[in-house]
Chains A and B, each alone.
Chain A
Amino acid sequence: MSEWLRLDPSNVSSQAKQTHVDGGVEITFSMSPHDIPHAVRGFFDEKLRRFVIEFRYIQDESWKREHQDDYVDLRIGKNSGRLYGIEIDIAALRAPAINLKMRIPALVDTAIDHFWHRKARPSRQENYSLAKSVISMRQGQLFESLAGISD
């Protein structure tokens, strides 16, 4: 299992701030620290036979698996609706490792967007966008272990 990649919450969530100024008074709305992942990792789960991307938040909660398409399932927090993980069926993709690294980010984006439009709570949109941008920023490190997986 790969190590957790630590994330800097201030860098990760900087785009989600909204500031209004009213006669000198400044009011800012920003993401709840509970919705900002502080670590992420990608690894091949031998038991599930799937490539898994996991996010770590301030506190864990139990999650449920949401099936999206033939290749991707999402792990969604039962109480919060946050994105806790993504499971990708590498075998079903039937592609060499080099192609997987290129295809998986797009598949993940599509799956998250699909879930967001179909079932997600409106208040979770920023969390899902954040998850997508984290995967995009760290895809090199996240998918490093794909090279060791046989086709």
Chain B
Amino acid sequence: MRLRRLLGGLYTAVLYAQVALGFAVVWLGGVQRADVASLRAKTSAWPQIAASVLWLQSEAWWFLPALILASGALGLYRKFVGPPWLWEAVHYYLDTFREDVFCIGQDDALHHHRVTLFKYVRWKFCFRRWPGSGWLVPVERSGHTTQAKISYFKAPDNADEAEGIAGLTWSRRKVVSVSNLPDLVANPSDEDFDRYAKNTGVSVAWLRENLPKARSFCGIPVETRGRLWGVIVLDSRNPSGINEESQSFYRPVSRFLAKLLERV
């Protein structure tokens, strides 16, 4: 998520660069029509100007298309990253959803109950596993902590290999709710690990490496224009911390969320 904030900062810089490129293309187009001889006469004190214009005119055959392509590439980058205001709005809706959907105790910290939005991507660069199998990557999370090092999960074409609650939700295209999971922090047994792994779609090895503290989950598919876009995963340290009527709270949030996510 912090990387995305960095990318969001770059978004503004890229926007300005695109505007500058646009002006450059227009200006270069104008330069093509310049009369070098008369320009040379008018700017005899600055011979470099006429020389530059001549150079630009001679190189325009590749320079102009390159500038246009560069502008297009920057536009694609902006579309891929999404504007910062969009992610701020998504964050706001996840925070709002979080307030309604959990049974929050008085002493509970914010990060004990979280809402995480995962986006499906076909390809993800990673060293350990095959990158082109289909992945659910976290793009936004409620609150202001636990924003770094969020796991991503496999969502391949072979649905049996889908990982995690996110993967289970994606592969089934249904709401998946799991509650009363064993506590893996306070002296868990092997049986606890096995039961946790079996009901959350991850391996025991993954659990031993990551030691999740959540004891209840709920995965909800996210769609835009009828197509699966990703999933929302609710997790709570309370074994029955997720409101049974979470879906009814999702409905008003989802309309705005789906509209926003159409843009990325």
Contact = CB atoms under 8 A, between A and B. Distances in A.
The range of chain A's interface size is: 20 to 34
Contacts of A82: 226
Interface stretch (B12-20, B42-50, B86-94, B243-251): B243-251
Interface string A69-110: 000000001111010000000000000000000000000000
Contacts of A29: 172, 174-176
A39 to B, nearest CB: 12
Contacts of A33: 175, 220, 247, 250-251, 254
B5 interface: no
A32 B175 CA distance: 5
27 contacts: A22-B199, A23-B191, A23-B195, A24-B180, A25-B179, A25-B180, A25-B199, A26-B177, A26-B179, A27-B177, A29-B172, A30-B174, A30-B177, A31-B174, A31-B175, A32-B174, A32-B175, A33-B220, A34-B221, A34-B223, A58-B223, A59-B225, A59-B254, A59-B258, A59-B259, A62-B225, A79-B227
B2 interface: no
A9 B176 contact: no
Interface of A: 9-10, 22-34, 38, 58-59, 61-62, 77-80, 82, 123
Contacts of A77: 226
Interface in B188-240: 191, 195-196, 198-199, 220-221, 223-227
B18 to A, nearest CB: 30
Given A22-B195, A26-B177, 11 more contacts: A10-B245, A27-B177, A27-B199, A28-B176, A28-B178, A30-B177, A32-B173, A32-B223, A58-B254, A59-B259, A79-B225
Given A10-B248, A22-B198, A25-B182, A30 B175 contact: yes
Interface residues of B, number: 32
A61 B258 CA distance: 12
Given A38-B251, A59-B255, A32 B221 contact: yes
Contact of B224 (A22, A26, A59): A59
Contacts, number: 84
Interface of B: 172-182, 191, 195-196, 198-199, 220-221, 223-227, 245, 247-248, 250-251, 254-255, 258-259
A58 B259 CA distance: 11
Contacts of B182: 25
The 4 closest A-B pairs by CB, nearest first: A79-B226, A80-B226, A61-B226, A28-B177
Nearest to A126: B174
Contacts of A34: 221, 223, 254
Nearest to B176: A29
A61 B177 CA distance: 27
A79 B177 CA distance: 26
B229 to A, nearest CB: 10
B198 A78 contact: no
Contact of B178 (A26, A30, A58): A26
A50 B86 CA distance: 42
B195 A25 contact: yes
